[in-house]
Amino acid sequence: MAIAAELKSRREHLEAIVDGKNLDRLVRDNLQDVWKASTPPEILIRSGFVRRIPELTDSEIKGIRIVDKPRPVLPRRPPLSVLAQKPKGVGLRLAVTLPFLVQSNRLLLGADAKFGWPIESAHPSPSGLIDVLVVNANQVSGKEELAVDRPANRKRQIGNAITALAESDVNLVSLPEALGQGYRKYKDIRLLVEDGGHKRVGATPYRVPDATEPVVRIPADFYLNGWVHALTNREIAMWMMLRDLHERAGGLPGTELDITAHDRLRDYDLTRAAWESFKRLSDYGLIIFKADPNRRDNGTVVGGSRRPDSERHRFYLNDDGLKEPGVDTVYKQICEEHDNLPLRGPS
């Protein structure tokens, strides 16, 4: 029943951002308008956003069992791990969208890495964060939708996301010390280097990564075709971990990827629930996986946990899948998983 409820809730969310004002199409069109300024084929996000850099030292993990249950509390969590575990809000989507915006249009990155847009602007769109983020502002109680100011609700959620990015365990933006009242405190956002700042004392203003830095490469289609708001936080986190593994393995097309639970926790601090989202990523066509022949459906392993590395799940990126519309692809798959969830008509 829990699975059915989750599927139903996700279907309703996807329908809400397509029906009516069609936020999916509106936001994709706005992202396209921003992207056209320089048409970067891929967006570069520093690997420190995804993975602990440097790796944990022996002294940092001394006496800690790095296993899924109970999940260990490890220092220096990557920002991706922190944001992926927030069940609500758009913090993670905002975090991965900001690099897209400033790398597509360098005019949005001002002196001292000041971000050039407010949450909402009176100028023609796109000119505010509300124009380029999908926020489902509906509030539903039972079968009745509550009377809410949807634009105000969307602005509130984006404001909460900015605040989340400014928290010390994420450290992706800085806000003025004198916060002021209401939305005034978000009018002077400064972007920070997106590795969480664990290696430094103080904040470092954001700059576009150069060729000497380890990065995760995000194809522009991830944004332009709406995958950034079609996927869940866990799915985004798993997908970005695989992309980082791909870069670490040399970045060649068709590279086979795998990771142990120990390394997943030590390097990326991603939960098993996030890892298991590979099944959905495969269904959506974003990755291909070759199953471990010794792993049962319930996650246990024939012969126990010790087995040759060659028998782990193997993954391959499939970026051709990003060329499909994200929301439609995910929606059809979610509905097909449950017989009682009829497909909505074509959008």
Question: What is the structure's pLDDT at 24?
Answer: 95
Question: Taking Cα atoms as reference points, which of 257, 234, 227 lies closest to residue 321?
Answer: 227
Question: What is the structure's pLDDT at 293?
Answer: 62
Is 341 part of any domain? Answer: no
Question: What is the structure's pLDDT at 79?
Answer: 97
Is 148 part of any domain? Answer: yes
Question: Taking Cα atoms as reference points, which of 130, 100, 135, 110 lies closest to residue 118?
Answer: 130
CB-neighbour burial class of residue 153 (10 A; exposed 0-12, middle 13-18, buried 19+): middle
Domain count, the chain: 1
Assigned token pair, 287: 């990755």
Following DSSP, what letter does each residue of 63-113 receive, concatenated?
T---SSSSPP--SS--HHHHHHT--SSSHHHHHHHHHHHHHH-GGGB-GGG
Question: What is the structure's pLDDT at 341?
Answer: 56
Say which amino acid occupies 193: V
Say which amino acid occupies 276: E
CA torsion sign for 192, 195, 197, 199 is negative
Question: What is the structure's pLDDT at 312?
Answer: 76
Assigned token pair, 315: 């993954």
- Average pLDDT by stretches of 10, the chain with 347 residues: 79 87 93 98 98 95 94 95 91 98 97 95 93 77 47 91 94 78 74 82 88 95 98 97 98 94 96 95 96 59 50 89 97 82 50
What is the spatial distance between Cα 66 and Cα 74, in angstroms, rounded to a whole number? Answer: 9
Is 22 part of any domain? Answer: yes
- Residue 70, preceding bond cis, omega within 30 degrees? yes
Question: What is the structure's pLDDT at 144?
Answer: 42
Assigned token pair, 119: 């949450």
Strand partners, 287: 317
Question: What is the structure's pLDDT at 147?
Answer: 38
Q: Interhelix angle for 233-248 vs 91-104, to 10°?
A: 50
Q: Interhelix angle for 2-16 vs 326-336, to 10°?
A: 150
Is 346 part of any domain? Answer: no
Is 266 part of any domain? Answer: yes
Question: What is the structure's pLDDT at 55?
Answer: 95
Please give the torsion angle defined by the CA atoms of residues 221, 223, 224 and 226, in that order, rounded to the nearest 10 degrees: 110
Is 146 part of any domain? Answer: yes
Question: What is the structure's pLDDT at 141?
Answer: 41
Question: What is the structure's pLDDT at 83?
Answer: 97
CB-neighbour burial class of residue 302 (10 A; exposed 0-12, middle 13-18, buried 19+): exposed
Question: What is the structure's pLDDT at 310?
Answer: 40
Assigned token pair, 140: 């539903």
Q: What is the extent of the structural domain holding 297?
A: 2-336
Please check whether residue 146 is in contact with residue 140, taking contact to mean a CB–CB distance below 8 angstroms: yes
CB-neighbour burial class of residue 8 (10 A; exposed 0-12, middle 13-18, buried 19+): middle
Is 344 part of any domain? Answer: no
Following DSSP, what letter does each residue of 294-317 receive, concatenated?
TB-TTS-BTT-S---GGGS-EEEE
Is 229 part of any domain? Answer: yes
